Chains A and B, each alone.
Chain A
């Protein structure tokens, strides 16, 4: 139904989309997740041309909508969009908001438009607010009205741009319930969202967007339970990540320690755990590995902290010959390191050492 090929969008000071490729089939319900600033919204806005793509092609039912000759307004009529900030027309009542485009653009009679609007307001539970002004509604009510306005145009695809991000937590549920109902009706939907549980429950496919591309895509089970790529996993598990590449020849001990402290403090790692983390770093990386690898060998260190499970993992990767740091440290150090960690696993394959420590 929609083919997106090599989509690229460049802003003067940022490039949110580098090279996006996707095929969307009729009836697909696609959740688009990913860290903020990775172009999820831009992607959606490119699809209905609220943003002009810098390069690439978007085909809808085989017709290019990025061509200069494309009739953008009629194309948008097939594609509804629900905005993060609702964007109800402030000078019109809820009822008029839903009727105005039907009358103006679909040339429905006032009666038809009215009946359609009232029917939709019933389904979103706002029939009694028909004559209210947007400013008199709560955030959740506004978003439900905005969804009704979009549906009144009988769109084939609905694009949801973070529909619940601007809402009070108490109002998120009512809006998600409305979207869930729509899903049952077989509408094609693209939903940019941060509500992971919702995305998992509703979607047929999930796009994880990062670094200007669709970084990983799959069924909700694949993405949420068994993500293949590190960034996906870190995002899904909400891991806080500290990453540093250490070169033995230019190693700045105080600098790295300070950054580790800052990382622990920022993520509210407990005192005991951050002490153990520093100890492990000191004993293993500084004392054992740094002294034994060649001066030009890069040591790649990643720390992942999960606030939910209160777990901290240190992963160290380095080349050279097989080197298990536990083997080269003295007895006292090893004892202490065992006290500070839950598990230590060393692997060597393809000329690469990996050590993974779970800090206690």
Chain B
């Protein structure tokens, strides 16, 4: 019941939002005083009568009814719930100082928080002004207020090493050149403008004899960096691509989780990071920072309360038959959600690619894990104490380590400098984890086979290894395959964590799509359904394998086979009746 209500609520919301967007976008983007001033005048009359202090509300939101008009107003709410981008250390500290009573939840992407604030689930979140302004384009119910932050420089971050400094210095000369020539402003206009066709970034290949650099970013922060048509684009990306092209260097972009960006730079995995990073004291101390190429103020996103009523009175008024509207709204909004999620910017490519990556990692890590698990199982069964102890230690450690942590350790520590592809790190990490579980499964399966089976095979003259593979293992497989199947499905679902190490799997694809559509419901439900379908399909494959091992089925096949032949065993026994 609850779920279907939620479903309807979401759809209605989405359906209603659709037509208004163009108007809102223009409003927001044409931030120039000339267009706004006219309306501003009218609003101000109204505002003075309501006697609300609007000094913290930007002009374009003064005609809207915001949930909060100032930080002081927010502070009055005892149950204030705020969102916080994971990894925003400085902003986090400042927010706690400003709003000591607030309960803060951590999120991985701005679009998720924008969606929650627009729908009243969160009271607000803080991010750079352009980011929230951009998010408001897609969420008509999202506005923002000034929070008293000083404008901060947005910079590129380099490791505190000689190599980092020289690259930083080189970059700085270009930043200053661009600033002087006005190129910085024109790139800014491009990415905050409407001409979608121009929002393209070409990352340069290295000219002959020049190196290629690895840049870490977290493409969840439109308009600075985000994914469009399956590619990383955005203001910062464009700027860096242009500068590196001019320098003659190659530039490789690595899209990772925001909290992993700096980690990756510090461990030497990436050469530098560009991810809407501001000059906070911590950064200054531990890294080399470039000159500022953008100045941004952090603001507080808040909900616009009356947006729907103000903008769609006609629709609601005409709703004599609400059921018809719901139905019509449902179909059209489903359609538009589908189009937004899959068709626009050919996002289906992200999804199909994500499915492929998920299936690929699942199967490879299952194979690796099974082989590894078998070897560890043999070690476990060994009579040599120390070998057994090593196997037990391995199993205990792997079972006691969260897979995410294991993956991060492998990616950022163990394989950090090898340049090995993240997919392989994921296969190794998940395979190691899977192996620990498989080995215990196999061991119980093997130990469940009666000892007499091995003895009988030995007595016939089989060698021990041959008897094990021919007689014991097939019987053990019947014991452990059902459990194995369950563990394999867990593995498929566990692959959803590979986004932490910069792999675009199905979950990451859905994150990216949500960061573009500012919509949670449709992409998430679709992702769940796709995971279910993958799991279902792989289960079927395993079940089919299991059936091949079932002796009674094989017998029936034998029977069918022998019926068509002359030498049916029953013939020998004369009048014996078939079972």
Contacts and interface: CB of A to CB of B under 8 A. Distances in A.
A127 B459 contact: no
Contact of A81 (B459, B549, B577): B459
Chain A CB within 10 Å — which of B460, B552, B573 has the most?
B460
A118 interface: yes
Contact of A83 (B456, B478, B570): B456
Contacts of A322: none
Interface string B542-565: 000000010110110011001000
B576 A127 contact: yes
Given A83-B455, A131-B559, A133-B555, A76 B461 contact: yes
A100 B462 CA distance: 11
A130 interface: yes
A90 to B, nearest CB: 6
A93 B551 contact: yes
A54 B536 CA distance: 56
B573 A128 contact: yes
B462 A83 contact: no
A153 B461 contact: yes
A150 B552 CA distance: 23
Contacts of A104: 462, 466, 470
A101 B471 CA distance: 11
B450 interface: yes
Contact of A73 (B462, B475, B562, B570): B462
B569 interface: yes
A93 B453 contact: no
Given A91-B475, A95-B569, A128-B576, A105 B460 contact: yes
A93 B558 contact: yes
Given A76-B459, A118-B569, A153-B461, A91 B452 contact: no
Contacts of B555: 93, 131-133
Contacts of A121: 572
B569 A127 contact: yes
Interface residues of B, number: 34
B392 interface: no
A101 B461 CA distance: 8
Nearest to B461: A77
Contacts of A306: none
A40 interface: no
A335 to B, nearest CB: 62
A1 B289 CA distance: 91
Contacts of B559: 131
B458 A50 contact: yes
A92 B453 CA distance: 12
A95 B579 CA distance: 15
Contacts of B569: 95, 118, 127-128, 130-131
A80 interface: yes
Contacts of B450: 85, 87
A143 to B, nearest CB: 12
B166 interface: no
Contact of A105 (B453, B461, B558, B573): B461
Contacts of B552: 133
A137 to B, nearest CB: 11
A167 to B, nearest CB: 15
A132 B470 CA distance: 19
Contacts of A100: 470
A87 B462 contact: no
Contacts of B3: none
A89 interface: yes
B153 to A, nearest CB: 71
A131 B453 contact: no
B463 interface: yes
Contact of B452 (A76, A77, A87): A87
Chain B CB within 10 Å — which of A127, A131, A132 has the most?
A131
B567 interface: yes
Contacts of A83: 452, 455-456, 459
A87 B466 contact: no
A81 B478 CA distance: 27
Chain A CB within 10 Å — which of B452, B456, B478 has the most?
B456
Nearest to B567: A114
A128 B559 CA distance: 12
Contacts of B462: 73, 101, 104-105
B460 A101 contact: yes
A149 B458 CA distance: 13
Contacts of B570: 127-128, 130
A92 B551 contact: yes
B59 interface: no
Nearest to B456: A87
Given A93-B555, A133-B552, A153 B455 contact: no
Contacts of A76: 458-461
A118 B568 CA distance: 10
Interface string A120-145: 01100001101111000000000000
Contacts of B463: 73
Interface string B393-409: 00000000000000000
B453 A50 contact: no
Interface in A335-352: none
A91 B460 contact: no
Contacts of B466: 104
Of all A-B residue pairs in the complex, the 8 with the closest CB atoms, nearest first, are A128-B576, A77-B461, A127-B573, A87-B456, A87-B452, A81-B459, A130-B569, A128-B573
28 contacts: A50-B458, A50-B459, A73-B461, A73-B463, A76-B461, A80-B460, A83-B459, A87-B455, A88-B456, A89-B453, A89-B471, A90-B453, A90-B475, A90-B551, A91-B549, A95-B569, A104-B462, A104-B466, A121-B572, A122-B573, A127-B569, A128-B569, A128-B570, A128-B573, A128-B577, A131-B559, A132-B579, A150-B459
Given A91-B474, A130-B569, 19 more contacts: A50-B455, A73-B461, A73-B462, A73-B463, A76-B458, A80-B459, A86-B452, A87-B452, A87-B455, A88-B456, A91-B471, A91-B475, A105-B461, A121-B572, A127-B569, A127-B570, A128-B577, A133-B552, A153-B461
